[in-house]
Structure 1
Amino acid sequence: MFAAPGQKTAIAGTPVIETRGLSKTFRSSTAVDEVDLTVTSGRIYGLLGPNGAGKSTTLKMILGLLPPTAGEVRLFGRPWARDSLSGIGASINGPSFYGHLSARRNLMVHAHLLGLPESEVDRALAAVELTGTDRKKAKSFSTGMKGRLALAIAMLGTPDVLILDEPQNGLDPEGIAALRTMMRHFTDTGRTIVLSSHLLGEVAAIADDIGVIVTGRLRYQGAMADFAPDGDLERAYFTLTGGSHMDRTVSS
């Protein structure tokens, strides 16, 4: 089972990520169209949408990886600033690491860049159950282990917010269940998770709030219980997006 991160206090229910009129245009194509997103502390926010809907582009703008065409991003109650990113850990677009290094050495590289002590590496490795893999190069890891390594990198420094893109990929049922427990422990300490996933069942099992992006526009935002009061997230999602109920996943 994944270990819980260290205790940290935050004021539950305060906005930690806000976007206002956030838009991104690539040439003549609008990928994100005036998205007003609000993520509050102490909650798990599930971001859903069909393939190409604009989810990844929105996350990249929040993280400063893409400049917005219009609109603004606010982090922790103030306008976007690079130093605010120190409070955010992220894993998007799949695991990114040095394949010829062990999990520990990969984390040491990131810890050095962040000015973190070696003890923080030990904590992150233990949190994702990668302790004792020092002799194994990351390129030889299974898909699930690579996902755990990406999660460990995101968790370095015990950030206030985690932004995770498809964190369940490659995990077996036991690993997925353990990930759920870790995420809930994380938010129980006042921290926040933004979770983008194509597994509707997993989002239904863990998310407090959801946002649904369709063709670049935010079509729904609010409590999971309000969106799917009968607990059937799949039916509510496909009703909103016009997708097929025969499809049980949402592409990224």
Structure 2
Amino acid sequence: MHNAEVPVVRTAGLSKTFGRTPAVESVDLHVRPGRIYGLLGPNGAGKSTTLKMVLGLLPPSSGEIQLFGRPWSRQALSRIGASINGPSFYGHLSARQNLMVHAHLLGVSGAEVDRVLAAVDLHGSGRKKAKSFSVGMQGRLALAMAMLGDPELLVLDEPQNGLDPEGTAALRAMLRRFTETGRTIVLSSHLLSEVASLADDIGLIAAGQLRYQGGIAEFAPDGDLERAYFALTGGVRA
């Protein structure tokens, strides 16, 4: 398992420009092991772009990325599970069949498929086709895919999108169990209350810039999360 003193993800001056438009500007992330790091910010703030650069899905325009204490490499990605841009699955296949396809690509066993099905509470879905799944079931399937191969780091982009309160609570419990074994999660969200209830540390991105990074208590010492959020994002409180 990863050294507890070394950041799982560290970026320095990470930037991305599309044409002449800056999407992410000089972001310095510091993700500690064994914790849930919530990347928070309004829609379009640069959260997904930042995560895509960390995962090698987008090349940075400038800056550095370290994974597990070393410069970014494709080899390090084998220690990471990710769900970006929502669930991606074969609609005509069951949850287990979908996972078997991914397991084959990763070179992991059917026993590992059964493990992640149980972990996300989909082991009873049987032959039901994924295209008929509820939003909550689709989210759990995406999480199961990310968990295949027992990664040390999970990177999840808006994992709670479309979930009802019950589904959100179930997701929260699953993610907490994951970090109890010393593993790490980075998740993005525009939902302040959800990040506050789940994350150990947060990074607040607005207009492509990291406006805050640290603990929840330090983010809003008076307990007024909304006031702190809108003060840093320049938004208007309703």
TM-score normalised by the shorter chain: which range applies? over 0.9
SS at match of 2:87: coil
Encode CA deviations 1:116-146: one digit per residue, 9 max, x unaligned. Answer: 0100000111111111223111111111111
Q: Tell me the equivalent position of 1:29.
A: 21
Identity of matched residues, %: 74
Q: Tell me the equivalent position of 1:106.
A: 98
Q: Which of residues 138, 143, 161 in structure 1 aligns to 2:135?
A: 143
1:23 alignment partner AA: S
Higher alpha-carbon deviation: 217-226 or 115-124: 217-226
Q: How does 1:72-151 map to 2 (within 5 A)?
A: 72-151=64-143
Normalised by the length of structure 1, the TM-score is 0.91
Say whether residues 1:225 and 2:191 are aligned partners. Answer: no
SS at match of 2:131: helix
Cα distance in structure 2, aligned partners of 1:145 and 1:231: 34
Gaps of 5+ in 1: 1-8, 247-252
Say whether residues 1:158 and 2:150 are aligned partners. Answer: yes
Gaps of 5+ in 2: none
Cα deviation for residue 10 of structure 1 reads 4.3
SS at match of 1:74: strand
Q: Tell me the equivalent position of 2:8.
A: 16
1:35 alignment partner AA: V
Higher alpha-carbon deviation: 29-38 or 9-18: 9-18
Q: Which of residues 41, 50, 60 in structure 2 aligns to 1:58?
A: 50
Q: How does 1:203-218 map to 2 (within 5 A)?
A: 203-218=195-210
Cα distance in structure 1, aligned partners of 2:64 and 2:2: 24
Tell whether the 8 Å contact from 1:204 to 1:231 is kept in structure 2 after alignment: no
Tell whether the 8 Å contact from 1:111 to 1:121 is kept in structure 2 after alignment: yes
Q: Which of residues 198, 201, 212 in structure 1 aligns to 2:190?
A: 198
Q: For this pair of structures, how many residues does the alignment match?
A: 238
Cα distance in structure 1, aligned partners of 2:52 and 2:79: 16
Tell whether the 8 Å contact from 1:13 to 1:42 is kept in structure 2 after alignment: no
SS at match of 2:8: strand
RMSD of equivalent CA atoms: 1.3
Cα distance in structure 1, aligned partners of 2:224 and 2:149: 36
Structure 1 pair 182/171, CA: closer, same or farther in 2 (3 Å)?
A: same
Cα distance in structure 2, aligned partners of 1:121 and 1:143: 21
Cα distance in structure 2, aligned partners of 1:245 and 1:13: 38
Cα distance in structure 1, aligned partners of 2:186 and 2:218: 18
Cα distance in structure 2, aligned partners of 1:232 and 1:123: 40
Tell whether the 8 Å contact from 1:53 to 1:214 is kept in structure 2 after alignment: yes
Tell whether the 8 Å contact from 1:43 to 1:208 is kept in structure 2 after alignment: yes
Cα deviation for residue 196 of structure 1 reads 0.7
Encode CA deviations 1:23-75: one digit per residue, 9 max, x unaligned. Answer: 11111111111111110101111101122111110000000000111111110
Tell whether the 8 Å contact from 1:11 to 1:190 is kept in structure 2 after alignment: no
Structure 1 pair 77/11, CA: closer, same or farther in 2 (3 Å)?
A: closer
Cα deviation for residue 166 of structure 1 reads 1.6
SS at match of 1:15: coil
Structure 1 pair 220/148, CA: closer, same or farther in 2 (3 Å)?
A: same
Cα distance in structure 1, aligned partners of 2:168 and 2:3: 28
SS at match of 1:68: coil
Cα distance in structure 2, aligned partners of 1:22 and 1:177: 33
